[in-house]
Structure 1
């Protein structure tokens, strides 16, 4: 519908006939067919702009593309093409947007080890773009594509991420003005994992002696005390009295939370040294010591949180929504379709055609 054919029949009876030209028939020589752009549809679209606008609204309200296609009385492929054009339209309109901070995260999109790298816009709370792979090279390609203007890339002042060496290398290469901020929620996850590893090791040791004290206590140790019900809090206090090893790991995790309250680089450095020294002096806490060594290697990015208090908390919510999209579409193993879905629903794009 975006273009229409204009046929012009010419022949011996029409040669030199000025009246035919005056009647609006045109002067297309040789009888060729021309494609003429029309104001009520986009080029190469089989639908009017008004219908595509309606279709975009319907697809945004439906749980699956199949459901939307059924309501619109079009095929799944036609609905997919409308969605693709909508996303392309939205991305074209967003090219010059300045993003002062970005978030980078990974998300599985297929079976096995198929991963995508997701670039987030924390200020607008949306997905800016995503690309296949999670290597440094793949992340560089993604950043250069979603931020094509070098001047725009220079205005990105911070990038928050987990402790991926690939992500950090890509940011250093592509965003020269951006400081790297390691996500505090990722740090909390590492500390929680260490506490649970200590708990499980102690549980195995005690179980061999017939002591089941730590059985079914994972929730007690991994939930912040401020979030525990009164009864669970009392049970945790009893566990403290009966198992000092896990209690020490729990205490080290809780103590580290004060790192994020430091107001200067010097204060945070001093805090970390004291905390690290205490952890390394304890016996039987190898998982916690391993985390302390990891944090030491990434300390610069942790300290950057002081000047750029950013987190990737948005990524957790986005990942949950992406999982819902995958489930509704039963997999989305094709990355191109996966990208279109994510940007359509989570990109906050201006996707409606001009009508």
Structure 2
């Protein structure tokens, strides 16, 4: 029988049928809480390949790190069903509503991680969230990849480009931004090839090189050469900082 405590946590996790919390356990040191979720079997599942009806095949135990609960590390556990299509015979694991496929973190944890990584280094965010930085990098990579898939540059007519050092020595990344200062593309290096890669990215996301009317950049020969080759009709403006630096 599901108690009021389990019903409370079912609501806190925004779960609905067939998903429900069946157990909540806190460790002796009161530093970690583990929540067990199950599906109650009251659902029909259809094959994503052929649309045929599916039946239960087996279960696989999974665990996800969730956002801290009252300053206690929180983890969700669930034996997730694998289903078998009666038509095509395909076997696959069903999706859970609290996490992306293949992720070891809940959606809420990932969202908080993204917000923190906007404001601080990934290592610092990992320390705050009590997880390894390389796992946060995977979250960030997947987030950026997902956003870039839906990026639409069809209306882009001007952009800014600048470089910054990413490591000690002559290691640079080049950043492209739109007129509202939103970053739209980042790539390694600071030579003419960076502009070529940006043009390719622009055209892959609905933009056209011939639509670019204005470009603002520094006075580096690499950028000048790349712009002359890839955006020959654009009017180029040199940013004030570098102009004043040369004058000084």
Please say if 1:79 is aligned against 2:136: yes
- TM-score, normalised to structure 1, is 0.42
For 1:1-355, what aligned pairs fall within 5 Å after superposition? 6-7=81-82, 27=85, 33-61=91-119, 63-96=120-153, 98-121=155-178, 123-149=179-205, 151-192=207-248
Contact 1:131 1:139 in 2 (8 A): no
Going from structure 1 to structure 2, the CA distance change for 1:77 and 1:160 (only over 3 Å counts) comes to: same
Between the aligned partners of 2:237 and 2:118, the Cα distance in structure 1 is 34
**Partner Cα separation in structure 1 for residue 206 and residue 230 of structure 2:** 9
Give CA-to-partner distance per residue, 1:272-309, whole Å, 9 cap, x none: xxxxxxxxxxxxxxxxxxxxxxxxxxxxxxxxxxxxxx
Deviation at 1:114, TM superposition (A): 1.5
Question: 1:79 deviation in Å?
Answer: 1.6
Contact 2:153 2:202 in 1 (8 A): no
Q: Which has the higher contact order (CA 8 A, sep 6+)?
A: 1
CA RMSD of aligned residues (A): 3.1
Deviation of 1:91 (Å): 2.3
Find the aligned partners of 2:233 and 2:205 in 1 and give their Cα distance: 14
Q: Which structure has the highest strand share of the two?
A: 2
Distance 1:180 1:51, change over 3 A: same
Cα distance, 1:34 vs structure 2: 1.4
Alpha carbons of structure 1 residues 105 and 54: separation in structure 2 relative to 1, 3 Å? closer
Q: 3-state SS of the aligned residue for 2:204?
A: coil
Q: Distance in 2 between matches of 1:96 and 1:188?
A: 32
**1: CA distance, partners of 2:229 / 2:206:** 12
The structure with the greater share of residues assigned to helix is 1
How far the C-alpha of 1:60 sits from its partner, in A, is 3.3
Question: Distance between the aligned counterparts of 1:65 and 1:107, measured in 2?
Answer: 18
Residues 112, 93 of structure 1: alpha-carbon distance in 2 compared, 3 angstrom cutoff: same
Paired residues of 1:133 and 1:139 also in contact (CA < 8 A): no
Partners of 1:164 and 1:150 lie apart in 2 by 28
- Whether contact under 8 Å (1:7, 1:31) holds in the other structure is no
Distance 1:56 1:96 in 2: 23
Question: Deviation of residue 161 (structure 1)?
Answer: 1.6
Q: TM-score, normalised by structure 2?
A: 0.57
2 CA distance for matches of 1:97 and 1:151? 4
Consecutive unaligned residues of structure 2, counting only runs of 5 or more, are: 1-75
Quick check: which has more Rg, 1 or 2? 1
Residue 124 to residue 27, structure 1, CA distance change in 2 (3 Å): closer
Structure 1: which 5+ residue stretches go unaligned?
9-25, 193-355
Which residue number corresponds to residue 22 of structure 2? none
